[in-house]
A and B are shown apart, each in its own frame.
Chain A
Amino acid sequence: MMAPISRAWREGLTDLYLVGPTVLVLAALVFVPVLIVFVLSFTDYQLGDRSVTFVGFDQYVALFTDPIGRRAITNTLIYVAVMVPSSILLALLVATRLHGMAQWSPGLSRFLRAAYFLPVAATLVAMALAWQMMLHPSIGIVNMTLVRLGLPAPAWFSDRGLVIYTLALIGIWQTIGYNMVLFLAGLAVIPRHLYDAAEVDGVSSAWSRFWTVTWPMLGPTTLFVAVITATAGFRVFETVAALTGGGPAFASDTLVYALYREGFVYFKVGYASAITVVFFVFVALLTFIQYGLLQKRVHYR
């Protein structure tokens, strides 16, 4: 005969029964692997090795002192610095224009929305091939046009000083559509009466309408877009892998590409784990800063 269980116990057991499986799966698939990566970053483990030696912070020191490691970090920062603000500003511009256009030409507005969204939906590797052909230094359509106009024809992917900006440009092209959709959603829920009220208060020019109503009301959307775009910027990998392979001479190496190269091409799992941890810290820091800074100035309704 079992002793009767108290009500608190029963509820506790039910909670465990409901939450337990999720916790177990999360632990097995997320927390434990993250922990392993963290531990590995303090070792010199190589894929296939049968033993592991702890090397303390050596891998981190190597990442920040090795010129190639440092270049990966600076390249990533340049990429983010160029791509994130441009993508957000351009997306905002496109979204407000298209939102306005929906008043007088809904069909064209819808068509342009789809066109801007296309890069988001398209397979990146196929798109990368198209970019590669268009930006070919001598037989690509872009440079052929530039030459015809009497302008210099840059080597978009093989000029070491230029390549990271070319990739940032493609990054902007890739993310505008997604950010535009988010901004459009934000614009759609701004109540009309706010504009009417502003007009009553003597706000007449389009610019001050934007500045006093639209922009503050888009605050939460902008915060979300900024966080999403910045993390996407730090994660840049596919374009690098498909278009430049980090080259020429590591000129377009980024953190995540370096992580892939060290771990899966060089088999240096310990070093790759250290890069992963640094990458994680970057993204976490950035997210906290953005939330901290922007949250104060965002008006949630």
Chain B
Amino acid sequence: MKSIFKTALAALGLTLAATQAQATDIRVHYAIPTIWADTQEQLAQAFMKSNPDVTVTIDGPAESYANGVQRLLREAVAGNLPDVAYVGLNRWRILEARELTKPLDPFIDDAAAFEKAGYSPAIRSLGQYQGAQHALGTSASTMVMYVNPDLIARAGGSMADFPTTFDGIIELAAKIDALGDDVEGIWIGRHDWRFQGLLGSHGGRPLNEDESDITFDSDAGIAAATLYSRFYKEGGMPIYGQSDARQAYPAGTLGIFFESSSLLNKFTESAGDRFEVTVLPTPVVVEDDSKAYFPTGGSALVMLTDDAEKQKAVWDYMRFVTGPEGAKIIVENTGYAPTNTIVLEDDSYLGAFYEANPNARVAHRQVADHAGPWYAYPGDEGVAVTDLIGAALVEISEGADPKTTLDTLAETVRAKLGMK
């Protein structure tokens, strides 16, 4: 008797929902207003224009992706999660592990058509875990090489035949470093993400296929860690912190700087006309180019709502933002690389933008060719071990032996993650 009553109520609820279909309201969460505030507003307006039956409400933004995930977790506990959220590409797995994200495969439906719509396997891989699509990348950045052409020229090199191997780069860095006390040759962040970049360039991966073991102590990993050591011993890499290097490069005292492509606009702006900020792709070491990948930072969209009606609207929103129109808005406003291949191939979207920003084209091409997931380590200690990795890189870049340090690190990380 009771259950009949319930069914009747549910049916009534459904009809009510159906009659209100014109007014589906979706709540959107995002982070980092300094980069995203205007862009979010534009995306919401453009989406509502083409979907008048959906209203987009934007939550007050979180200060950073880390804060954003925290807030989402708290909201999940309190039962007032937003319907869709922009989260850091290395953080959506935190939500997935707590079963808060809704798998997107039922919505994708026709995989071939989806790929044709600009979602290449490299780009889809940014939001996949164990074969299921949980997130769609919305903006991307990979580690590129910023160089200072003036210092290169003074050191006797030239942009035309800039070395394409790490050996050549270290040799050049040493010459730049020898230019003077206040000039530094090369710098790379002692940070998990940068390390994964060098690792991927050597064709290595931090974790094995089913994420049951650490693999960054492979030959590729040791080669990547050895670069840190060689940059320090041979290339004149100074003992800097991340923000020191970010000041030194635009000031014109750092020759070669491996850093996220997302900082391009900032560097170009603060270098002014001191020198011409120039971006080159990070060298690929591994012979088989298809094995190389660069971990990708940026943001992804996840669906959080349980309501079927809202899920439909959220999916439309996600497709719009990650489609060519959304990608155009995002690229032009934030400087991030797009996560839709159509805009890279079809010049009708961003042709003029790339004409004016040749550096951006280099960076975005690297994303399209070699984008790969930013591996997050599984389990409760997943975030904590990235700081351990950073600490080991600090030791290596200050003279510790790369192989023994990396071996110890791998053992510590395995123990922390419960892999033995």
> Which residues does A use to contact B, with CB under 8 Å?
46-49, 132-133, 136-139, 144, 147, 155, 157-160, 244, 247-250, 261-262, 264-268
Contact = CB atoms under 8 A, between A and B. Distances in A.
The 3 closest A-B pairs by CB, nearest first: A249-B391, A48-B73, A249-B394
Interface in B73-118: 73-74, 76-77, 94, 98, 100
B391 A47 contact: no
Given A48-B73, A139-B247, A147-B181, A247 B395 contact: no
A268 to B, nearest CB: 7
B387 interface: yes
B253 interface: yes
B18 to A, nearest CB: 33
9 contacts: A48-B76, A133-B247, A137-B244, A158-B239, A158-B244, A249-B392, A264-B66, A267-B73, A268-B380
Interface in B230-267: 238-241, 243-244, 247-248, 251, 253
Given A47-B73, A138-B184, A248-B190, A265 B395 contact: no
Given A248-B190, A267-B73, A267-B94, A139 B240 contact: no
Given A139-B247, A139-B248, A155 B66 contact: no
Contact of B240 (A133, A155, A249, A264): A155
Contacts of A144: 182
Contact of A247 (B100, B241, B381): B241
B61 interface: no
A138 B248 contact: yes
A256 B384 CA distance: 16
B241 A157 contact: yes
Contacts of B240: 137, 155, 158
Interface string B358-392: 00000000000000000000001101100100111
Given A160-B394, A247-B394, A249-B394, A48 B241 contact: no
Contacts of A133: 247
Contacts of B248: 136, 138-139
B70 interface: yes
B241 A158 contact: yes
A139 B182 contact: yes
Contact of B394 (A248, A264, A267): A248
Contact of A47 (B67, B74, B251, B390): B74
Given A47-B74, A138-B248, A266-B381, 7 more contacts: A133-B247, A137-B238, A137-B239, A144-B182, A249-B391, A266-B383, A267-B383
A248 B243 CA distance: 12
A167 B315 CA distance: 49
Contacts of A160: 394, 398
A292 to B, nearest CB: 39
A138 B237 CA distance: 12
A48 B391 CA distance: 28
B182 A265 contact: no
A136 B368 CA distance: 36
Contacts of B184: 138
Contacts of B251: 139
B182 A138 contact: yes
B244 A159 contact: no
A264 B239 CA distance: 28
Nearest to A157: B241
A76 to B, nearest CB: 18
Interface string B392-410: 1011001000000000000
Q: Among B244, B380, B392, B398, which residue has the most Cβ atoms of chain A within 10 A?
A: B244
B382 to A, nearest CB: 8
A49 B99 CA distance: 11
Given A138-B253, A139-B253, A248 B241 contact: yes
A133 to B, nearest CB: 7
B70 A155 contact: no
Nearest to B240: A158
A137 to B, nearest CB: 6
Contacts of A48: 73, 76-77, 94, 98, 100
A44 B73 CA distance: 17
A269 to B, nearest CB: 10
Q: Give the interface centre of A48, A147, A261 by most chain B CB atoms within 10 Å.
A: A48
B324 to A, nearest CB: 35
B380 A155 contact: no
Contacts of A265: 66, 383
Contacts of B70: 47, 264, 267
Given A47-B70, A132-B243, A158-B244, A266 B384 contact: yes
Nearest to A135: B244
Contacts of A264: 66-67, 70
Contact of B238 (A49, A138, A244, A250): A138
Count chain B CB atoms within 10 A of each CB in A137, A155, A159, A250 and give the residue with the most: A137
A192 to B, nearest CB: 52
Contacts of B100: 48
Given A147-B181, A250-B391, A46 B241 contact: no
Interface string B263-305: 0000000000000000000000000000000000000000000
Interface in B129-159: none
Contact of B387 (A132, A137, A139, A250): A250
A265 B190 CA distance: 19
B247 A136 contact: yes
